[in-house]
C-alpha cells in the first residue's frame, strides 16, 4: 500500500490538468471493473459488480487532483508570474522547486532578496503577485519558447520516508484516498459499487458535484485527507486529530452536516471490528 501511495503522489495532476494521474489510475483499475468512463468535467467513473446487487446505490469517491499554479505571464526578464490553483499557504512556497508546463521545465519560486526589502516588508507575508518563478531563461524570448500562458505548474517534491513509518510527499491530499479505492476495486466486493476519482476538488469540488447529480447515489462515502493537529504549540483541546490514532469519521465541515445514521453505522462497524477511530 505504501508503494502505491508513493507512486500516485509522484504523478502530476494539478486541478484542471488531471490527464496523467487519471491515466495512471485507469490503467490500474481497468482489469477489475465492468465499466469505466471519463465525464465532461474529467472525473474517472468506474463500476464494479459485487457478490450481490446493492439495495441502495453506493458511491465511493476520492479526488485525484492536487494544488498547484498556472502561468499568467512572462515578464521581460524571462521570469514567470503565476496564480495559485487551489488553497496554497503563501508562506510555504518561497524557494520551492517546481515543474512548468508539459515540458516539465524545472524552476524555483523566488521573492525579492532579503537585503532589498525594508524592515516593515520583512514582517509581511508576500502576495502571490510578488513572487516569480525562475526557469533560468536569459529573457522573455527564451522563456516563451519553453513556457506558454496557461501552462500548469506543479511542485517538484520527492516522496520521502522518515521517522516511524511516516511519509512526506506532495499530493497526499488525496492520493491516499485514491490508493484506498484502487485496493478496494482490486478486491472482491460484497455488493455492486460505483467509484469516482473526482477532478477539480481543489477549486471547489466541481467534479464531485457533477458526479453526484449524474449518478444519484443513495449513499456516498468520501475518502479524504484531513487536518492532523497534533502540533506542539496547540493546546490539547484544539488538537482535533492525531497521526496513527485511526481514521477520522467526520460529523460536519464548513459546508455540510453529514448524515447521522450513516455516521453511527460507520462508528458501530469500527468498534465491532476493533478499528480505532477519531472525529
φ/ψ (deg, to 5) at 85:
-110, 110
* H-run or E-run covering 69: strand 68-74
* Residue in 18, 66, 152, 201 annotated catalytic: 201
Q: How far apart are CA 38 and CA 48, in angstroms?
A: 15
Q: Do residues 5 and 29 touch, judged by C-beta distance below 8 A?
A: no
The residue with cell 520516508 is 161
Is 201 catalytic? The answer is: yes
Q: Do residues 66 and 154 touch, judged by C-beta distance below 8 A?
A: yes
Name the burial class of residue 143, with classes exposed (0-12), middle (13-18) and buried (19+) by CB atoms within 10 angstroms of its CB. buried
Q: How far apart are CA 277 and CA 246, in angstroms?
A: 5
Report DSSP letters for 187-222, one per residue: S--SB-EEEEEES-GGGTSHHHHHHHHHH--SEEEE
Q: Which residues are catalytic?
A: 201
Amino acid at each position: 500500500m505504501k508503494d502505491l501511495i508513493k507512486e500516485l503522489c509522484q504523478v502530476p495532476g494539478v486541478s484542471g490538468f488531471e490527464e496523467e494521474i487519471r491515466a495512471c489510475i485507469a490503467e490500474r483499475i481497468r482489469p477489475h471493473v465492468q465499466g469505466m468512463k471519463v465525464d465532461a468535467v474529467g472525473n474517472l467513473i468506474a463500476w464494479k459488480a459485487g457478490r450481490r446487487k446493492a439495495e441502495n446505490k453506493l458511491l465511493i469517491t476520492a479526488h485525484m487532483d492536487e494544488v498547484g499554479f498556472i502561468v499568467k505571464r512572462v515578464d521581460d526578464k524571462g521570469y514567470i508570474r503565476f496564480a495559485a490553483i487551489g488553497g496554497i499557504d503563501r508562506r510555504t512556497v518561497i524557494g520551492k522547486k517546481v515543474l512548468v508546463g508539459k515540458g516539465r521545465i524545472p524552476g524555483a519560486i523566488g521573492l525579492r532578496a532579503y537585503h532589498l526589502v525594508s524592515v516593515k516588508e520583512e514582517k509581511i507575508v508576500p502576495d502571490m503577485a510578488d513572487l516569480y518563478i525562475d526557469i533560468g531563461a536569459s529573457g522573455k524570448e527564451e522563456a516563451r519558447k519553453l513556457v506558454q500562458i496557461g501552462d500548469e505548474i506543479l511542485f517538484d517534491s520527492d516522496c520521502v520516508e522518515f521517522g516511524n513509518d511516516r511519509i512526506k510527499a506532495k499530493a497526499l491530499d488525496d492520493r491516499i484516498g485514491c490508493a484506498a479505492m484502487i485496493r478496494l476495486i482490486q478486491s472482491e466486493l460484497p455488493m455492486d459499487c460505483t467509484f469516482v476519482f473526482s477532478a477539480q476538488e481543489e477549486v471547489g469540488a466541481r467534479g464531485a458535484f457533477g458526479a453526484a447529480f449524474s449518478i444519484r447515489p443513495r449513499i456516498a462515502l468520501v475518502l479524504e485527507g484531513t487536518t492532523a493537529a497534533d502540533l506542539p504549540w496547540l493546546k490539547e483541546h484544539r488538537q482535533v486529530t492525531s497521526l496513527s490514532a485511526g481514521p477520522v469519521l467526520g460529523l460536519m465541515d464548513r459546508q455540510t452536516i453529514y448524515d447521522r445514521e450513516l455516521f453511527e453505522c460507520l462508528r458501530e462497524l469500527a468498534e465491532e471490528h476493533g478499528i480505532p477511530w477519531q472525529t
